[in-house]
Structure formats: C-alpha cells, structure tokens
Structure 1
Amino acid sequence: MTDTASTPPAQPGLQSLSKSFEPVALEAHWGPEWEKRGYGVAGYRGTQAPKAGQPAFAIQLPPPNVTGTLHMGHAFNQTIMDSLTRYHRMLGANTVWVPGTDHAGIATQIVVERQLQDQKISRHDLGREAFVKKVWEWKEKSGNTITTQMRRMGDTVDWSREYFTMDPKLSKTVTETFVQLYEQGLIYRGKRLVNWDPVLQSAVSDLEVENEERNSFMWHIEYPFSDGPQTAADGTPLRGMHIATTRPETMLADGALCVHPDDERYQHLIGKLVDLPLCDRKIPIIADDFVDKAFGSGCVKITGAHDFNDYACSQRHGLPLITIFTLDAKINNNGPAAYRGLDRYDCRKAVLKDLEEQGFLEKAVPHKNMVPVCARTGQVVEPMLTDQWFVAVNKVGEGDATGKSIAQKAIDAVHSGQVQFVPENWINTYNQWMNNIQDWCISRQLWWGHQIPAWYDEDGNVIVARNEADAQAKAPGKKLRRDEDVLDTWYSSALVPFSTMNWPQQSESAIDDYNLYLPSSVLVTGYDIIFFWVARMIMMTTHFTGRVPFKHVYIHGLVKDAQGKKMSKSEGNVLDPVDLIDGIALIPLLAKRSEGLRKPETAPQVRKNTEKEFPEGIPAYGADALRFTFAALASLGRSINFDSKRCEGYRNFCNKLWNATRFVLMNCEGQDCGLQEHTKEECAVGGSAHGYLDFSPADRWIVSMLQKAEANVAQGFADYRLDNVANTIYDFAWNEFCDWYLEIAKVQIQTGTPARQRATRRTLIRTLETLLRLIHPVTPFISEELWQKVAPVAGREGPSIAIAAYPISQPERIDEAAIAHVTKLKQLVDACRNLRGEMNVSPSTRLPLFVLAQTPAESAFLKASAPVLQALSKLNEVRLFDDEAAWQAAAKAAPVAVVGEARICLHMEVDVAAEKLRIGKEIARLEDQISKAQVKLSNEAFVAKAPAAVLEQERKRVAEFTDTLNKLRDQLKRLG
C-alpha cells in the first residue's frame, strides 16, 4: 500500500491551473473582469438592477482625500467593507457600496500651492478663478490614485456611482442645505475665537488640531500695582502680582489678571489695578472660579482674544478683547510700536529681553508644554478672533415641528437604538462629545471648496441665496459682493448619506435609491473620525430627512506597526499596502521610509529597523493574503498591531488551498463523482457497498464540520467579527479539510469499493466548491480562480463565484455519530504519532501497530478504520488482539498508549542494552537541566529582577523536561 493515490491523467481544467499559487496574474485578470461585468453595480447578484422584495444592503465608503494614497488604515477598513458587501451580494440582497472621494479643501489647496511655489508663482498671482481652474486640472490628472489602488485590493464598489464632493449634483445639495439652515435661523455669521493657521491663513477645526509636547520654558513675570506696593494677606509688602506663562508675547493683549474668589491671599486685592509691563495700559484684578488657586502663584493673565479659556472668562466679565496678531501672526497696530511687524516668535524674544532689562522678568523655568499644531500643515495654530460662519447645533430651527435642535435629534437617534454602535461602548464617547458640543464653525478662508452662498450689498447686509440671480432678486438695484470663504470640507461629507441618494428628488418607488438605501446598513470607520464625520452625518441626515443615515456604526481600531506605534511617515514605520501586494526591494523601501522624516537624524535607526524587519525587502504576498491578514485582525479591539509575518502565514494558506484544489481536481476531474440523480434507497444513511453511493463516516464528518463552519461564519458576519469569520474558515480549510479529510480521502479512493470511491469524490469536490464560496468575501481573487476550475466538476453553474449563492448552514446534515467516529480516529492517529516520537522512529520507517480491543464495538471500529489508520500513522500492519496476555507478550517492552477502550503499542525490535544506555544518558541530561532551572527559580534575587516572560519560560522548561523525564523513566522500567 502506498501513501498517495495514483494520479489520474491530467484533465483540461487541471492543465489550465498553474502548479503553484502566483497571485499577480490572476489579480490582474479578475479585478478588471468583475468591473467590466458590472458585479459591483447596485442591484441583485449582478443583475445591475434592484429586485423588488429582496432585502437591501448599503454601505458608504468613508471618502478618502483626493490628494491621498492608499494607506494601511484604508486597506484595513476597505477589506471589512468589501467582505461585508460581497457576503450580502452572495446572500441575494439588493447590494450597493457607494464610493467617492473628498475634495479635501486644505490638503488639496496646499498640494497645488506647493506646485506653484516650485514655479515661483503664488495663488494670488493667478487670482481665484485661475487658481481653482488649476486645482481642477490637478484633480483630473492625479486625483484618482487612491481609487486605482482600491481596485488592486479587489474592492467591488459601484464605480458607476462614484462621486466627488465638488461634483455639481453634490454641490447643489450643499447649497440647498445651507440655504435651508439659514432660513431656519440655524446658520449665522459672527466674530468668535477660532483656531487659526497663520501660514494657511484660515480657520481650522478643533478636531484638526493635534497637541504636541515640546520643550519650552515657563516665564515668571511681575505686574506692578498701579497705586504702588500693596500688603499681602500675611502682612508682607507686595510690589506687584506674579504670573507664569509659556507665551509671554500675548501679554501685550492682556485684559486683566485673575484669581480665584476664595483665595484668601488675594481677596483684598480684587478690583485693584496693575500696570501692564511694556504697555501703557492698566488692567484690573478680577476673580473667577476657573482659576486653580493651588497651581503656581494662583494668579493668571487673561488674554481674551488669544486663549479659549480666557475668551470665556472675558465674556463673563465684559473684558475688552484685544487682538495683537495679524492673520499671518505678526504684531499689529494694537501692540506697542516697538514690536509692530515682528513675527510672533521674534516678538517673544524682544518682549523677554525688555522684561528682563526693566526688571519684570523674575525667572525662566524649563517646562514641557502641549503646543496646538494643525494636523494638515504642521503649523502652530493661534486662537484668533475672526468673523466666521457657524451652525447653531443646539438651537431649535424656526418652524421645526419636532421642537428639537440638530444635536438633540442626533443624540436621540442613538439613544433610541435607531443607530447602534459596535462595539457599543463607543456610545459613551459619542454621547460625551454630543452633550458638550459647541456651535460648528463651517467657514474656511480658502479658495478651493464650496464657496459660501452668501452675498453682501453696499450697506453690508447679508443675502443668502441658492445662486447669484436669486440673491440679486432679493436686493434689486444693489451691487453685490460674494463672500469669499468656502465651507469646511466636513460639511459636504456630512451630507453624503442622502446627497448620494437623490435627495431631495426622491420618488415613491420602493426600489428608488432614497427609499432602498437610506438608511444604509452599516458605516465602517475608525474611532478617530467619530466626531469629524460620524456625528455630523447623524446630525445632518436626521435633520434634513427625518431618517438616520445608517443602522449600525462598526468602529474598528487603528492599524499600528508591529510594536504598537502609530504608523507615520515622520517616524519612518509606514507600510504601503500595494508594496505588501506586489513586493518591493530593500533599497526602494529604505528610500520610501526615509522620505519625510520629521527628524532626519533618526534615519540610521529607521534603516536599521527596516533591515531587521525586511532584510531582503518585502516579498509579494498578494491581495488575498493581505486581506486575510486584515480580516483575521479585525476584532473589536481599539488598535491593530500589524505584523507582516501574518501575511506570510496567510500567503502559505492560499498556497495550501491551491494545492488542495489541484489534488481534488486530480482525483475528481473526468471521474464519476456521484453527481447524477439517485434515490434515497440507492444511498441510504450509512451507505451501501453495492449501491450508487457509500458515504463513509469521514465523508459525513467533513460535511458536518462544514455545516458548523457555515453557521459560525454567518454569526461572525452578523456580529461584525471578521476575525471569527477568518479564523473559522482557516481552521476548517487547513486543519479539517486539508490535513485530515484529504488524507482520509486518498485512502478511500485507493481502497474503497466503487460506491465508496464515488461518494468520496462527490464529497471532495462539493466540499471544496462550498469552501471556495465560503471564503470568497475575504479572499476574492484566489477563490474566483479556483472556483472557475472546480464548479463545473462539482456540477455547479454560473459565470462567477462573486454572484453565486453563499453557503447557508443546514443543521440537519450534522451527523454527531460521524463526528465521534472521526474524533476517535484522530486520537488514535495522534497517539501513534506521539509513540513514534517517543521512540525516535524515522517517518519513513513503517511499524506494526498492536491493538488490544477490549469490547466488540471497539474491535469493529478498529477493523473499519484500519486502512486509514495504517496510512495516516505510517504503519505496515494493524494487528488486533482480544486477549491481554497475548497482546502483552507481543508488545514486550514497547511504549503503550491508551485511547478510549483500546490499548495500543508500536512494535519494534530493539537492542535492549543499547536502548537502556541511551535512555539513561537522556535521563541524566534532563535531570541536570531541571536542577539548573530549579536553582535559578529558587534564587530570590533572580526572581526579583527577571522579567515575567523569562520566569514563565523557565517554569515552562521545567514542566516540559519533567514530563519527558517521567515518560523516559516509564520506558526504562518497561525495558528491564
């Protein structure tokens, strides 16, 4: 008997399948082919039209910036979305995944301005109209990079619906919502303190400001009393009040000094005036409970126009708001003449020099402070008083029958369960932000974006209208000037759930986009844009449509590097998903990782880390291996530490699936696979050696395990646990199907009757075909390529696996008796393999297995299982005994294992004296190792200093050595 089945003649399907898995060619073929066939177009299983009566599954792609390229976060996010979309499409839902890109006002304007700078041209040289034209030209040439990369990932979005947030259709919706909000009294223009980027010269959102820790100083400054020295509460003389600040240049705009009203040290000084150093002004000492009296001197300066906390305090006390910076952060005419025109940091140096010379600077103490930096430009932002447009999110609109504000409607949508977060703990984060939300600043001082639909007449009156003609009609005979500001990028993105679904021109049809796909089924996004996008979509959609934008919000973690650090170009640890798909040599990889380092001096360390992680560069893993890696990591955790070695493991998995398919085709293609119609009598439960099909317990077992896997996968998709989906499929495909069933099937095809062979082939080809459909949402390319070869042999019809029916578990097909049978068989095989290991028997050496069967049922089981047991355990014989004395006499000194009701041993003639000597030496070695380890573990100093992982490893070694030692002693006892 041989170990492998005889190879049937090669068949056409097998001939067209390459001998090894090479993803490049099949990805290059199937991606464009799916798109050409329109499988991503909204509808029912590739019909390109919705089918009445079918459930809907809709999903919106978080629109990436038009300036962007695919990063690991995108690839992870899109793997989840595409898997969900493919799954529901195969289930038969009316499915749509809507793609689009965001015009990214700040980022895009920066890109084009930098290109102009290289030509020594500014946007002001061109003028607004010509500059915007340049941006559109750039967008047409370079704005599709990320969508091209999405195709490489196999994303089956509905490209026919691809939008750009500056498209005319979406722009019309932007204007319409702005006008409606203004007419409802929910949009207003006012002078408020905002984050201001002095290089970009625009307001930026609080959410676009990141705090960076920097080394600086805390400067301690004295403000002398205007009426001369005062007396402290303890009677000591006071020349002035003492404050500490990290921004001494802003003192030029101070409106007051402030102490806590309950601070006994200063209560008698409240209302007194102090001289503002370097300025010819006097400012009052006021009291406000926002001051921490235990911090520093307990006295702080109030600079209402340049600090958010101070702004609120100034409003409470009616203090003047003095702005001392120009929009490019230079000192304006409100500052003393000596400092006018200086940059803010040059002014700081000059102010400190003058304070020291005039005796007002007491000391400078090194201090680490958090500096607000614009995430888009890297510039330190300034709180600045400017005229901006705002959405009043906490106000009830005029004529609103609900009596609720925009924010309250969004809070209620989540509280009522219409919108559910997965995992649900993110509700707390959402509620905390929504319950403390401030009016939304929606204007930006840019040229690229949706220009605000507001005009000003000669008298300064504001006219908001849908177009200039409407505005002129509202101000007849007056010359109008349009507001130059544009809307915050997130304003148009917040409208996407309904602006992409024909709002407000929806029809009454049940399969109209608006009625079929709003609300969408799920939003898949990272936790970092809950406030940027998720909350704002809920606010705007509930307000304008009365519907929620989506039913579920699946919040996944961020992708970090293998050490748990955030991936960043400035840190040199970024991975490009396309590099993981295609591969990249070491030198180009080093160049990519060294580009854009925030600290060039870190380049040697970046090089060292990269060479350690990828000594020969990144191999080509293919899109399927990358997608499977992401799916397996997609738990409900907060972050994902990405290790490329996982990609290598799933590349091996794809290769194993490929080889398994070749084996199945080799044994089934061109053979009788039992696919013809047959009666129940011809194939009764338990099989019939003389009937048409004779299914073995192993056949029924693998079908049973398949049903269980299908149920677990369905539950994983329902729970948005793609890690459970991936791990279930991996375990079934690798461990159950490939490692066990294929090996058993070889034996059944070699030794079985025609009915058994037929049943085995049927089980092989049908199980594989089902497995390919099961895995398709996660690994679309390899599953499509293999399904095209397997499906015809399995008797399945259809043009593509992408629109084939998804496997649904059939619990009635689960055969617990068959599961018990194979479980026992696996235990026997494992026991034989363990015995071979204990005896150091070469895998090529075949030995007889002596089995003592103590019951008739056990004897019958062993007789039926003997051919498989013999093949899988590398045996030349399975000899059954029903007499213990005869079994012991035959077994002699061989190691014994007990499996269920059977006792087994592998029989091998050995030189007893030599074996005793060998075992004795091994026992002595193990005793020495155990002793050394125990000395370490009994050393209190070692235990106190050693890391927990080292201690655990040492204890594990002791346990393993002790277990092996006991087995050797038992074996030695048997020998003598």
Structure 2
Amino acid sequence: MTSELSTTFDPAEIEARWYRHWEETGGFRPERPDAEAFTIVNPPPNVTGSLHIGHALDNTLQDVVIRYERLRGKDALWVVGTDHAGIATQMVVERQLEEKQDKRTNYSREEFVDKVWAWKAESGGKITHQLRRLGCSMDWSREQFTMDPHFTKAVLRTFVDLYNDGLIYRDKRLVNWDPKLKTAISDLEVEQQTIPGSFWHFKYPLADGVTLDSGQDYIEVATTRPETMLADMAVAVHPSDERYKSVVGKHVILPLTGRRIPIVADEHADPELGSGAVKITPGHDFNDFEVGKRAGFAPAEMLNMLDGDANVCQTADGLVPEEFIGLHRFKRDGVDGARELVVQRLKEQEYLIPHVVRTKHDEVQMLDAEPRQIATPFGDRGGVAIEPWLTDQWYVDAAKLAEKPIKDVRDGTIEIVPKSWEKTFFNWMENIQPWCVSRQLWWGHRIPAWFGFSPLVFETQDDSEGSMWKRLADEPEEVFVAESEDGVILKATEFYRNHCPPQFTVDVELRDAVGHKRNGDHFTIYLKRDPDVLDTWFSSALWPFATLGWPDASPPVTPAKAGVSGDSTHTPEMPASAGMTYLEKHFPNSLLISGFDILFFWDARMMMMGQYNMGEAPWPRLYLHGLVRAADGSKMSKSKGNVVDPLGLIDQFGADALRFFMAAMESQGRDIKMDEKRVEGYRNFATKLWNATRFCQSNGIGRSTTIKAPTARLAANQWIIGEVQTCVEELDRAMADLRFDAAANAIYQFTWSKFCDWYLELIKPVFAEGADPEAMPAVETRAVAGWALDQILVMLHPFMPFITEELWHAQGERQYDLIVASWPNPRAAVSKDATDAIDWVIDLTTNVRSARNELGIPPGAKLAAYVPHASDLAASTIARSSAAIERLARLTPVTIGEAPAGPAMQVTAQSGSGAGDVFVIPLAGIIDVEAEKSRLEKALAASDKEAKSLGGRLSNPNFVERAKPEAVDKAKADFAHHTAEVERLKAALERLG
C-alpha cells in the first residue's frame, strides 16, 4: 500500500529521520559473511575539525562508492574515525586554559593529558555529527580514534619494529621549527606568505692578505636574513664564476664574531643573483644545510645560534658577542631584535654596502637595503615565521620504505586515478627525504624510547670509593626502545649487566633524569623517557589495517571512555567469514579516495606502512580528487571571505542536492568551481522526482515486486525497459572507471528526460479519463512504471540517499530498506521495432518544438504535416501512433505524400537506422512569413556583429592577458552565446525558405 506524499518536498525532516533509522538498524554494515568484501577507510579528520567544503566533496565520493557496492551485494565496510591531531588539539585545550588565566605548565604532563581527554569527551568529534548530516553511511558502531588503546598498540609496535630494523633513528638535522608552539612541524603545516622585507649587502673581509683578481680585499655577500650571519660557517661561490676562482679554498673573517670561515665552490650559488657570493648558515637554512654537508661539515658540527623561542643563544664556538645573547631574532613589540642590531653594528663598522637608488629627479639616495617582497614560511597554526632549526629528532628512513610503493605503482599493483598524478608521485618518492616523526608536544603517542648512560666503563679508584662506573662525557646516551616499560627495563638491565663485572648487580629504574647510583656492589641505573610524541601522520599511516585490529587478529576495541586515557570496556563483534579473520577479510582495502593535496603526507605513507607491516599494498586503487574552489576559480580562504559552509548549503537546499552537485562536478581530479545555482538546480531535480512519484501514486502506480523487468507489449513500456538497461550499463561503466560525473549525468538524464519528460507523457493516455483501469494497457503500464521508478530510486540512491529512501517506502510496504536493496538487473529482451518507434516520435517532437520556438509559433497550435517520402518506420508509427504524435508534437493530420505549394518549414525525424524522415509543415495562415523573416534577419545581423566584435577582442593578446579574469570569462561566454544565436537564426531562416 502506497503512502501518499505531501505536495511539498521538505529535505530537513526526511534527512534527520532516515539517517537515525539507518544507524539504529545497522544499515551501514549489513552482515554478509559470505559476500565479497568491499572496504574503504575515510581520511580521518582532525578531532578538532568541522565540516568544510573539501570534506563534503571527499566524503560524498566515498559514500557514493560504498552505497553503490552495498547495493551490488558486497560486504561493504566504510571505516570511520578521527585523528587525535596533536598540535591542533593541544592548542585548543591550551587556549581554553588561557581564557581562565591558566596554562599547561601549571600541570603535570599526565594532568594535562587528562584535560585533553575530558575535552574530547565533551567537545571533540563535532565533525562526525556533521558527516552524518551529509548522509555518510559509515560503520559508526566501530568508530576509531588514533589514540584508542588498540591503535596505540599498533603505533608502538610499528615504531619498535622499524627501530629494530634500522629504519628509525635519531639524527641532527634541520626541521621546520615553530617558535610559538615550540615544536617541529611538517611541511603540510607550513604555508608560504609574501611579506615586505629587505635585501642587505655586506663586506666579508678576506683573510691572510688575500685579494680578488680585481684587487678587492673583501667578498660582497647579499642576504635577506642578516641576523643569521652570527652562525655563518662558509661563503659559497659558483664553481664557474671567474670572479672568485682564485679565492676558492681561502677564508674570510666573519664580521662581529671574528670567525674564520672558508670560501667553497658550490652550484647553489647563483652568479646572476646579487654579488654571486652566498653566506652559508647550515644551522638555519635548508639549502645551506645541504651546502654545508657537501663542504664537509657534519650536522653535529653545524652552529646553532637560536634557542626554541627563536632568541639568540651562544654558538658552540663561543664567538657570538654577549650583547646579542637573549635578543629575539626579529623586532618584537617595538623592541629591536638581533636583525636590527646586526645591521646597526655592521653599518657602524663599515661592513654595510648601501643600496643606491636614483629618484625621479635624478638625485642619488643611499638606503641600508633594497626593499623586496620576501616569500616567508609561516606555521599555519602558530602564525609566526618558521625557523629552520638544527635539532636532534627521530627520523624514518623514508627512502628505504618508498622502494616497494614505487614498484607497486610502476607494475600496476596500485593504480593511481587519474594516471596523470603518477609523474608527481614518482618525482617525490624517488627524491624523498628522511621523515621527521618526533614532535615536542604532550598530547599524542609518546615515543617508546628511554635514554641512559652510554658507554659505562668500570674503573678502579685509589680512594675509599674503590671501584666505580663512570660515563665518558664525549659519548652519546644509550637508547632503549620497547613497547612497554617492563620491556625497556628488561632490555636495559641486560645491557648494563653485560657491561658490569660479575661481582656487581644492576637494577634499572625509570626516572625523569638520566643517572646512576652505587650502593656497595649494587648499581641502580636511571632511565629517562623521551618526552616527545610522534607526528600524527605516523599513526594515521597505519589506518588501513590498525583500524581492522592489527597487530592482533582479534577485533579492535571501541574508543576510550570519556576522560579516561587508554580505558575500554567493550569489544564489538566482528564476524569472521569462511574461516577468515576480520583483518584478513577487509585488508587490503578495496579503494582509497583522497584529495591530491595529501598524496605524500598520508597516501604514500600508508603505502609504505602497508608494505612494511602487512607485506602488501594497502589498496589496489587510489583515486585523487581535486579541490573545491570559489566560483571565480580562486582558492577559498577566510581572509578572502569566499569560504562556503557546506552545512549552510544543506540547510538551504538539502544534503541530496549538495551531494549530487559534488558528484556531478567531479571529473577525474579537476578542481570544482562552487556554484550555488547548480546546487539549487539539483534541489529542483529532487523536486521533479518527488512530483513524478506523486503522479505515479495518483494513477495507482506503486512498488514493484520483481528485480527482473515485467513483461511488456506496449511500445512505450518496452522502450522504458530498454532505457533502464542502458542507464544501468552506463552507470556501471562510469563507476568502474571512477567517473563520478559520468555516473551522475547518466542517472540525471535518464530520470529527468527519459522517465519524467517522455515516459510519463507517453503513458498518460493509458490513464486518461474514461480508460478502463483493469484493461491490459493499464495493468501492464502500472507494473512497468512502478518497476522503472524503483530502478531509478536504486540507481539514484548512492547520490541522493535521503529522498530515494523516502520515495522507496512511499511506494508501498517493503521487506527491506533501499540502502540494502539489490542493484538493477533487468534481464529483459525488448523489441527494437518498438523502441525505434518511440525514439522516432521523441526525435520528431523535439525537433518540432524547437522549430516552433524559433519561429514564434504557439506551442499549443495544431499543425498539418506532410511526409513526401516516408520510411517504413515512419509509415508504421504514423499509422499506429497518430494520437501520440498529435498529443506530443501537436501535428494533425499527418499525411504521407507531397505538401501543397506555399511557405512551409521542414523538420526531420531521425530513425534508429540513421535515415531521416522529412516533415513539411505549411505555414500559410499560421504566421506572417515576411514579417518573421524580417525579424529573424535583424536579430541575425545583431548577433553576427556582436560575435565578430567579441571574437576580435578575444583574439587580442593585450585584452586576454591584461583584463580581469572575470571580464575575459564574460567575453568568452557572450561570444559563445552570440555564435550559437547566429547558427540558430540561420537555421530558422532556412526553415522559412
């Protein structure tokens, strides 16, 4: 029994009701233990995040795929969860403390972490509720969090294994240091900003009486960062630069510090830039770091002149003048910093080379520096300039781990879609740098490493102390890595016992500082745990398999309870299938959908960790979509004020409309331009389907009882069955190729044009007043129309889940929800003669309506028509379907034979075989032919003139290159419009003869 639909379509009420129903009834994870698995994982959003337009695109595409595969009978699992977002989350909680005149350092580490867990329980995960509003059919019953106990176990296991295999190590290298957050950050968290700056030129005096060939006793260097000269270690010149060949290998005396530094030949120096000589500060510049290594400086020897707050500190050689110690690197709060004092002192000591400019009056003006716009890296969260800083950090040997993923993509084990991204992938992976995985935070996965004295030597003393252990001061600390405290104590105890004479015993204790204590013949060794945590990309790299239970074969547990770190009370049931564990069935995943912007930060690292931990690629296909941009094509940003809120669009147009827009506009990785009018158009599409269903209900058309197409004899019914089959095939091809735009277009065109515009019009006479509702035509048509509407609802469901589920149930009582229905499988043979006849009538009607519109003939006016040479298809269709031709094309009578003399228009109807039947339609008495010709000729002349003018403007490089982009776009659109108008008006004139 059908449920009568209201006259208006209200998305909000429908969305809330159906989502709640799906989640409560387990619709997002139907248990199909014997079915083929289809598994995807969502890129885990930050637990601090909220839904932005990029999330809307990314998750819509994933939901389209998972709903499609679920309808096809797969055991479809969409793994969902959030990332603990170390920096972002710690900042949120610290900001809350600041609002209360409090700060993190007022608490112990454990107390602060408890506050973060409390925040997560109360406010974290806002985005997961917003994903529900979008309609994402994720398996919420097994929602994951990267700080869950089972996930922490996976992280620790991976770190320890990598360390034991020599693939994780500590090293002194440059990192992106955020002086405000006081932590290293990843490249992804660095954004380039162009800010006003200066380009200074200085004299570096040559040592030992050496001069250039020109007789000059100094080398001129240019820099945008004069303050770092306090830690300069070399001056670089290009090997081919004739000006400096004679002094390569010689030295300069660094002003202010007196440091003697070498002149080195390196291709990093650009002979065309500045003086061609470059100051090298390997401890504070990424390029200089590489130059320094090539010049023979070990990282441990490189000088560091800044502390974690970016204040000047003494370098290892003790040559920084005392007046600079403690100064901030830049001017701050109106107080000059190290930069200003360095420039001042160099100027006073006549090492500054002024920048000479001439005014418009040809006057000479001397400036301390050349004003420039400088590209400067900033932390995206701290908001201050990033400092390249030389520190000890933990690194992953990414080059080694990248080898197998590179091979996987090359041999096709992993397919990247679109393929154009492969070149970028190879370029990055084949030149990959060590991956810094340590962060100086309290919130996150603490690095499972402890430090102790190393080496420890046993010495005999002459005093009363007798024998003792002594640490050699120039040796590094020993590192112990294990998954647990018990494990590290066992490792350390064994290590120190091996270094201790037999008569001594050893205990190991975990303390806050490295040390040891002797009591008679017993030594107690104190180990200190590394205070750092792991980069969140390290844990999220394990997402495809850690979320499925790895490293255990058993299922993962649910997220930790509110405010309790590492506690869990329930393990959800995760059924095995055919003897397979949950992990075995769902790993490798089937597909990953991701924005191209995290190809290296997340996707490539999952490839590395999948091969390392699981011995295989984490998925066979990687789909990279583009970005959602503003309507003018610019990148969205809060500063520009062009950010679009997807929740606002959902409130305005409904989730289904936004989802359909995202899918329809996604074309193999190309960026999407936001267009609210298109979203509104898809809301209208949903309304059209709603009204079409109401029409069906009003004519007794309800749900179908079969997946297979009903038997049909009427041409219109056979035609719609054939069109369903064609649409299913188009959809399947598009989804196989991950062409979301093609899939959306296929179901859109079928629903709007074939079903609503044509089929419902074709069958209206069957239900006309006076027709027998129990006659064969009506009975058959109700069955076919109900079946066709059901197929639409199933095919459209992945794109518009809410309205389709509502209409599915409105059409009659169902044994199951649409979300777990079966994908269409018409299995029907239809008569080609019947479908060709309908196609012929549709083509004729379309062309007649177009011709009427061009000539201003009222759409309701009935016109006589003649077919001088009718094809067999035309003759048979005219004989059998004259009523349909009259009602749709408004042609009556239709005569097979020659038309009478006089003005007429000609219209062609195309048959399935490709031949065209020409209809001659007399116009005498219908319109004033001469007046119409005059009108059309004037309009043609106007459009032709405008098209030529616009064409000339667009062919002018000065206009295209210098005009505002929006002006160029408008000119192109106007040109296309007038060009099309010219063709249309010419065709209309030709019709008049």
Q: Give TM-score, length-normalised by structure 1.
A: 0.85
| CA deviation profile, 1:158-188 (whole Å, cap 9, x unmatched) | 1111111011110111111112222222222
How far apart are the structure 2 equivalents of 1:941 and 1:472? 76
| CA deviation profile, 1:459-480 (whole Å, cap 9, x unmatched) | 6432212222222233323222
| CA deviation profile, 1:836-880 (whole Å, cap 9, x unmatched) | 3355333344455555564676333202111111111345xx224
Secondary structure in structure 2 of the residue aligned to 1:216:
strand
> What residue identity is the alignment partner of 1:498?
F
1:78 is aligned, of 55, 59, 79, to 59
Change (3 A) 1:838 1:224: closer
How far apart are the structure 2 equivalents of 1:955 and 1:389? 58
| CA deviation profile, 1:276-323 (whole Å, cap 9, x unmatched) | 112232222222333233332221111111112222222333344111
How far apart are the structure 2 equivalents of 1:855 and 1:101? 65
2:2 is aligned, of 13, 19, 26, to 13
How far apart are the structure 2 equivalents of 1:724 and 1:872? 29
How far apart are the structure 2 equivalents of 1:284 and 1:941? 57
How far apart are the structure 2 equivalents of 1:173 and 1:745? 61
| CA deviation profile, 1:630-665 (whole Å, cap 9, x unmatched) | 010121133111211110110010000001111111
| CA deviation profile, 1:861-916 (whole Å, cap 9, x unmatched) | 202111111111345xx2243453xx417xx545443546755455677398xx36
> What residue identity is the alignment partner of 1:308?
F
How far apart are the structure 1 equivalents of 2:831 and 2:872? 23
2:534 is aligned, of 473, 477, 487, to 487
Change (3 A) 1:958 1:147: closer
How far apart are the structure 2 equivalents of 1:455 and 1:677? 64
Aligned length: 876
* 2:777 paired residue number: 756
Change (3 A) 1:725 1:923: closer
Aligned-pair Cα RMSD in Å:
2.9
Query: Does 2:400 match 1:377?
Result: no
Query: Does 2:684 match 1:652?
Result: yes
* 1:33 paired residue number: 21
* 2:879 paired residue number: 863
Secondary structure in structure 2 of the residue aligned to 1:521:
coil
Secondary structure in structure 1 of the residue aligned to 2:243:
coil
* 2:10 paired residue number: 22
> Deviation of residue 953 (structure 1)?
4.3
Would you say the 8 A contact 2:844–2:907 is kept in 1?
no
Would you say the 8 A contact 1:711–1:809 is kept in 2?
no
How far apart are the structure 1 equivalents of 2:453 and 2:706? 87
* Pairing of 1:437-586 with structure 2 (within 5 A): 437-457=432-452, 460-473=477-490, 474-475=492-493, 476=507, 477-506=524-553, 510-582=579-651
Q: Identity, % of aligned pairs?
A: 41
* 1:253 paired residue number: 231
* 1:611 paired residue number: none
Query: Does 2:757 match 1:739?
Result: yes
Q: Give the structure with the larger helix fraction.
A: 1
What stretches of structure 2 of length at least 5 have no aligned partner?
331-336, 356-368, 455-476, 494-506, 508-523, 555-575, 911-915, 961-967
Secondary structure in structure 1 of the residue aligned to 2:264:
strand
* Pairing of 1:124-523 with structure 2 (within 5 A): 124-228=105-209, 230-233=210-213, 236-319=214-297, 320-334=301-315, 335-345=320-330, 346-362=337-353, 363=355, 364-394=369-399, 405-457=400-452, 460-473=477-490, 474-475=492-493, 476=507, 477-506=524-553, 510-523=579-592
* Pairing of 1:849-860 with structure 2 (within 5 A): 849=865, 854=870, 858-860=874-876
> Deviation of residue 101 (structure 1)?
0.3
> Deviation of residue 387 (structure 1)?
1.3
* Pairing of 1:947-962 with structure 2 (within 5 A): 950=971, 953=974, 957=978, 960-961=981-982
How far apart are the structure 1 equivalents of 2:983 and 2:529? 85
* 2:935 paired residue number: 922
* 2:99 paired residue number: 118
How far apart are the structure 1 equivalents of 2:707 and 2:206? 104
Would you say the 8 A contact 2:904–2:991 is kept in 1?
no
* 1:603 paired residue number: none
Would you say the 8 A contact 2:53–2:645 is kept in 1?
yes
Q: Which moved more, 1:515-524 or 1:455-464?
A: 455-464
Change (3 A) 1:281 1:544: same
Secondary structure in structure 2 of the residue aligned to 1:635:
coil
How far apart are the structure 1 equivalents of 2:617 and 2:933? 75
* 1:816 paired residue number: 832
Change (3 A) 1:517 1:218: same
Would you say the 8 A contact 2:19–2:135 is kept in 1?
yes
> What residue identity is the alignment partner of 1:51?
P
Q: Which moved more, 1:258-267 or 1:157-166?
A: 258-267
Secondary structure in structure 1 of the residue aligned to 2:394:
strand
How far apart are the structure 2 equivalents of 1:786 and 1:581? 19
How far apart are the structure 1 equivalents of 2:200 and 2:124? 48
Would you say the 8 A contact 2:712–2:718 is kept in 1?
no
> Deviation of residue 935 (structure 1)?
8.2
Secondary structure in structure 1 of the residue aligned to 2:59:
helix
Would you say the 8 A contact 2:176–2:389 is kept in 1?
yes
> Deviation of residue 256 (structure 1)?
1.5
> What residue identity is the alignment partner of 2:482?
A
Secondary structure in structure 2 of the residue aligned to 1:813:
coil
Change (3 A) 1:422 1:925: closer
Q: Which moved more, 1:293-302 or 1:558-567?
A: 293-302
Would you say the 8 A contact 1:709–1:732 is kept in 2?
yes
| CA deviation profile, 1:683-716 (whole Å, cap 9, x unmatched) | 9xxxxxxxxx762222111111110110010111
* Pairing of 1:45-64 with structure 2 (within 5 A): 46=30, 48=31, 50-52=32-34, 54-64=35-45
> Deviation of residue 126 (structure 1)?
1.8
> What residue identity is the alignment partner of 2:666?
A
Would you say the 8 A contact 1:859–1:880 is kept in 2?
no
Change (3 A) 1:450 1:566: same
* Pairing of 1:691-770 with structure 2 (within 5 A): 695-750=713-768, 754-770=775-791
How far apart are the structure 2 equivalents of 1:676 and 1:515? 35
> What residue identity is the alignment partner of 1:623?
A
> What residue identity is the alignment partner of 2:553?
Q
What stretches of structure 1 of length at least 5 have no aligned partner?
1-11, 395-404, 583-619, 684-692
> What residue identity is the alignment partner of 2:608?
M
> Deviation of residue 270 (structure 1)?
2.1
> Deviation of residue 920 (structure 1)?
6.1
* 2:364 paired residue number: none
* 2:797 paired residue number: 776
Would you say the 8 A contact 1:271–1:285 is kept in 2?
yes
Would you say the 8 A contact 1:747–1:871 is kept in 2?
no
Change (3 A) 1:788 1:290: same
How far apart are the structure 1 equivalents of 2:725 and 2:235? 74
1:789 is aligned, of 810, 820, 824, to 810
Would you say the 8 A contact 1:55–1:93 is kept in 2?
yes
Query: Does 2:49 match 1:68?
Result: yes
> What residue identity is the alignment partner of 2:392?
D
* 1:690 paired residue number: none
> What residue identity is the alignment partner of 2:164?
E
> Deviation of residue 219 (structure 1)?
0.8
> What residue identity is the alignment partner of 1:805?
S
> What residue identity is the alignment partner of 2:816?
P
Would you say the 8 A contact 1:84–1:777 is kept in 2?
yes
| CA deviation profile, 1:370-423 (whole Å, cap 9, x unmatched) | 2122233232111111111112234xxxxxxxxxx4222222232332222111
> Deviation of residue 579 (structure 1)?
0.7
Would you say the 8 A contact 1:14–1:666 is kept in 2?
no
Change (3 A) 1:520 1:311: same
